[in-house]
Amino acid sequence: MSKFNLDKKLGELQKRFDDLSLSLSNPDVINDRGQYTRLSKEHAELSRVVALYQEKKALDTEVLENRELLHDPDEEVQALAHEELKLLEESLEKVTHEIHVALLPKDPNDEKNTVVEIRAGTGGEEAALFAAELFRMYTRFAEGRNWKVDMLSQNVTGMGGFKEIIFLIEGKGAYSQFKYESGVHRVQRVPETESQGRIHTSAVTVAVLPEAEEVDVKIDATDLDIDVYRSSGPGGQHVNTTDSAVRITHKPTGIVVTCQDEKSQHKNKTKAMKVLRARLLDRMEQEKHDEIAEKRRDMVGSGDRSERIRTYNYPQNRVTDHRIGLTLYKLEAILQGELTQLIEPLNAYFETERMNSGFNRDDA
């Protein structure tokens, strides 16, 4: 977007923001709960862009003033203006970049809760143990934000690992923080199952799905086969004596979801439906992505679960994200849930990719 078009666009958004501010003080709007909520949301969404626009205008003015001072007869004034101009132009470039990012169309799923599925891949029991490590890592990150973690389904191994674990993270913006975790996570370490002290490489697959509400995905009851059966478990008091486990098959797609964690058949069915809706929404999103231009498909294709995205090397205390070439020697801290130092650079990288691909609100 050219400077002229950007300023014109920002001016229009400023006017819309001012109009919304007036509307929100109108008693008729205040008394209309639905309209007030809708306008308040739009007002809040525009507030960051407007604040950046005001900052940009102030910097534009200062840049012009300092450029005029470059022609001042006093050489000392010229030198000061030159130094100040360099700092101002750097600030202006940064703010302009932030504006371009803010103008990108938002992912409609960003504010949603998220369903995370972790499955052990190559590596047998060692992969299952690492799947448990990743689950603890994500749980600690979520708890640090006061988000709720709800177990949906798990398949535990004899050593306490997970062949598969599915859980829901409930919190505003949860999906936006987790969406780039989808892919193959590789671990290099001496396994607990290895007596010779050799370093092994194992892999775990992570899938991150936005939670789908009933309004997002319409499911016809006639498309479902629902089976109930007796839960399996480690034995003794932990095995249910009633048919509480639930298996749901979505006949049109062949997607099968099972849940047996709860003693209540109703609760297991509710949790299984959450997973099914999330998987169906994910399938719809993937189909939509496959239909659009190659450039944009490249942009959003970073979530391909067949792609090796990250390596966790225990001997070197190292974590490497291969998509952005980021290496941190903070493995222990990251496994304790300090994921911000990975998530923020990833979000910034993919936002920049989207911007460079030319997708802004004019294209939406």
Res 295 pLDDT > 60: no
- CB–CB of 315/188 below 8 Å? yes
pLDDT in the model for residue 236: 40
Q: What is the pLDDT of residues 299-317, one digit of tens each?
A: 333 334 456 899 999 999 9
Mean pLDDT in the chain?
85
123 versus 335: the higher-pLDDT residue is: 335
Total-model pTM: 0.65
- 114-200+298-356 CATH, one of 3.40.350.10, 3.30.470.10, 3.30.70.1660, 1.10.8.60: 3.30.70.1660
pLDDT value for 18: 95
| pLDDT value at residue 211 | 87
Domain boundaries, the chain: 3-102, 114-200+298-356
Burial classification of residue 318, based on how many CB atoms lie within 10 Å of its CB (0-12 exposed, 13-18 middle, 19 or more buried): middle
Instruction: Name the residue with higher pLDDT: 266 or 285.
Output: 266
Query: How deeply is 61 buried, as exposed, middle or buried, from its count of CB atoms within 10 A (0-12, 13-18, 19+)?
Result: exposed
Long-range contact set of residues 144-151: C-beta below 8 Å, sequence gap at least 24: 144/337, 145/171, 145/177, 146/171, 147/171, 147/174, 150/271, 151/261
Q: What is the pLDDT of residue 148?
A: 95
DSSP string, 25-37: T-HHHHT-HHHHH
Whether residue 234 is predicted with pLDDT greater than 50 in this model: the reply is no
Q: Is the pLDDT of residue 345 over 50?
A: yes
Q: What is the pLDDT of residue 289?
A: 65
